[in-house]
Amino acid sequence: MDTDVLIVGAGPTGLMLANQLARRGVRMRIIDRHAGPARESRALGVQARTLEIYSHLGIADQAVALGKKADGAVLWAEGRRAARVPLGDIGRDVSPYPYLLVLGQDDNERLLGDALRARGLGVEWNTELVGLAQDTDHVMATLKNADGTRSEVRVPWLAGCDGARSTVRELNGIAFEGAPYQHVFFVADVKMTGSMAPDVLNVYLWRRGFHLLFPMRGTDHWRIVGILPPQLRGRDNVTFEETIPTLRHEVGTELSFKACNWYSTYRIHHRRAARFHDRRCFLLGDAAHVHSPVGGQGMNTGLQDAYNLAWKLAFVVSGRAGATLVHSYEDERLPVANHLLKRTDRFFSIVVSDRWLVGLLRTRVMPKIMGLALRTAAVQRILFRTISQTGIRYRRSPLSEALAGLPENGPRPGDRFPWLRLKFQPNGRLEDLYGKLDDTRFTLLVFGQAAPPRGIPELGDRLHIQELPSDPLNDRELARARIPRPSFYLLRPDGHIGLAGARLDAAAASRYVSERLRFS
Ligand SMILES: Cc1cc2nc3c(=O)[nH]c(=O)nc-3n(C[C@H](O)[C@H](O)[C@H](O)COP(=O)(O)OP(=O)(O)OC[C@H]3O[C@@H](n4cnc5c(N)ncnc54)[C@H](O)[C@@H]3O)c2cc1C
């Protein structure tokens, strides 16, 4: 077998997995049944956690340069301007990317595809997975090739990144539990002028629904998302022109359209796969979970699924961990999907409900509360942590272990280790901790005590040690993050804390690695 992992699907999730496996030396193939990358931009919001991951891939600066920072939102209630919500850098002190970046899915896929090509690898287009059979130590996949022929591929691992209608999920007989929402949505990519506030997200709330207008890169370039008016529901082939009268009525009579680059209607589902892992196959991204686009979480969640699985598969494939390590992928990511589905469902119900009282809440109460609440720093921080996905944590994971002396109100095992600016040398300058992390290895951060001279032998060269010097600026930053001194944190390659405690106990660290990475 000359391939370790076959990735099915070259959407954002598959491309992220391909990149992360390739940079960890895993031999992989990535196939897609389409002839080339998708032209539509679909998802729009790139969250801070995704940009943090992009920075390890070397594409964060390009993404930021290509996208548009969401500086704020203007809320309109029944045609009247109701509130302006500042967004801007609401995640200051939480992430080096303290904002929401508006950047289309097509641009994200291009950056990820370019990064893969820079490694001399590429997607095998026009190649479709049509069959698979699993055995204890491999998968036999049947592929339909570009020339119509079929071939069999034997691989140790197969990753289903093949979207909401996942063939991998179906061929494994895994249920996709949930239901469609009753509303039909439309999305349009247009050039237009009008009375909307420039360069900010415009939210138009009506008793019977809403419209969202996202400013895109380029002059007069907007993305519109809304609910199809009742008279157009239940019909195929609705055109953008048919949507215009409702838009003029609800967004402004002075709207003037210069071009519509693409238009699509779609039904949203909220569903989750019963399992994300079945023996040698995994489900990631839309193949594992779909939900409403509220909050711009869909694409980002798929990207994080890939980041979570990649380092584990790389450790297993290289023989540094036992095969059971990959079980923690489902242990960690399935609860994240559950939580996301519940949260987006609750919020979505308020945003789309046809009920009179909810309509009143949407147009009268919500804009006022949001306008006021989102001006307070504490609410901004909570909102940012939730939406940016920097608050995702795996505290109940089998990979999370706390030793004695760790405070309850500080970072705990399972959490993403906080972003800090620290001095790494006694007389050095303040540096970005995330810039110092190597996400292909574990990192041992040691505060207020000496690092173990032999490191953690069980990790060998897969460990990077940072012993932080005592310094008033470091102390202040640690106090802000509620990190005690002395303390130590063993970070997994994906930046989440595996083991942590007050006094560094080399034997406990060795035991953690032997048991947790080789657990059977
Ligand atoms: C109209 C629309 C608007 C959206 N807007 C937003 C938004 O604003 N915000 C947001 O967060 N999300 C949005 N989404 C959702 C977002 O697009 C998805 O979450 C994202 O595309 C998921 O990426 P993925 O890689 O998991 O799957 P996909 O992007 O669906 O990629 C799956 C890939 O697998 C390939 N494939 C499928 N079956 C096979 C097979 N058998 N063999 C080989 N290849 C196969 C497909 O060709 C495809 O390229 C929107 C979705 C739609 C449809």
Tens-place pLDDT, residues 333-344: 999 999 999 887
* Residue 330, CA distances (Å) to 318, 319, 378 in order: 21, 20, 32
Residue 156 beta carbon below 6 angstroms from any ligand 1 atom: no
More confident residue, 34 or 254: 34
Distance of alpha carbon 150 from alpha carbon 55, whole angstroms: 39
User: Residue 388 pLDDT > 50, yes or no?
Assistant: yes
Tokens of residue 397, six digits: 């994971």
Check if 161 has its Cβ closer than 6 Å to any atom of ligand 1: yes
Residue 467: exposure state from Cβ atoms within 10 A (0-12, 13-18, ≥19): middle
* Tokens standing for residue 80: 């009247």
Instruction: With H, G, I as helix, E, B as strand and everything else as coil, classify residue 115.
Output: helix
Q: What is the mean pLDDT of the chain?
A: 91
Is residue 98 scored above 90 in pLDDT? yes
Torsion angle defined by CA atoms of residues 142, 145, 147 and 150, in that order, rounded to the nearest 10 degrees = -10
Query: Do residues 1 and 156 lie in contact, with contact meaning Cβ atoms separated by under 8 Å?
Result: yes
Confidence at residue 207, expressed as pLDDT on a 0 to 100 scale? 73
- CA–centroid distance, residue 253 to ligand 1 (Å): 34
Q: Please list the residues that pair with 92 across neighbouring strands.
A: none
pLDDT at 351: 65
pLDDT band for position 345 (cuts 50, 70, 90): confident
pLDDT, position 382: 83
Write out the two tokens for 178: 């949930």
Query: Is 470 exposed, middle or buried, given 0-12, 13-18 or 19+ CB atoms closer than 10 A?
Result: exposed
Can you tell me the distance from the alpha carbon of 70 to that of 123, in angstroms, rounded to the nearest whole number?
Answer: 32
How large is the average pLDDT for residues 169-184?
Answer: 92
Distance CA 131, CA 152 (A): 9
322-336 core/surface letters (b: 16 or more CB in 10 A; e: else): bbebbebbbbbbbbb
Q: Of 2-16, 165-179, 258-272, which range is least confident? A: 258-272
Decide whether any atom of ligand 1 lies within 6 Å of the 105 Cβ.
Answer: yes
Q: Which atom of ligand 1 sits closest to the CA of residue 34?
A: 47
Bridge partners (DSSP) of residue 423 are 430
Tell me how far apart the alpha carbons of residues 78 and 208 are, in angstroms, rounded to a whole number.
10
How far, in Å, CA of 287 to CA of 176, rounded?
9
Q: How far is the CA of 231 from the centre of ligand 1 (A)?
A: 28
Average pLDDT over residues 503-518: 93
Pairwise pLDDT comparison (232 vs 15), residue with the higher score: 15
What is the tens place of the pLDDT at every residue in 50-94? 999 999 999 999 999 999 888 788 888 888 888 888 777 888 889
DSSP 8-class letter at 363? I
Helices (H), 32-104: 48-57, 60-66
Q: Is 223 in the pocket of ligand 1 (CB under 6 A)?
A: no
Does the structure show a pLDDT above 90 at 475?
yes
Atom 6 of ligand 1: nearest residue by CA position: 43
Distance CA 459, CA 442 (A): 8
Output the pLDDT for position 520: 45
**Token pair recorded at residue 201:** 């997200």
Residue having the nearest C-alpha atom to atom 26 of ligand 1 = 285
Of 148-162, 389-403, 506-520, the least confident: 506-520
Helix, strand or coil, per DSSP, at residue 194: coil
| pTM listed for this prediction | 0.94
Confidence of residue 350 (pLDDT cuts 50, 70, 90): low
The secondary structure element, H or E, covering residue 101 is strand 101-102
Atom of ligand 1 nearest to the CA of 31: 43
Give the residue among 45, 47, 19 at the shortest CA–CA distance from 392.
Answer: 47
Whether the pLDDT of residue 418 is over 80: the answer is yes
Q: What is the Å distance from ligand 1's center to 344 Cα?
A: 18
Statement: residue 410 has pLDDT above 70: yes
223 pLDDT higher than 80:
yes
CA of 279 to the centre of ligand 1 (A): 24
- Is the Cβ–Cβ distance between 56 and 312 less than 8 Å? no
Of 8-17, 293-302, 410-419, which range is least confident?
A: 293-302
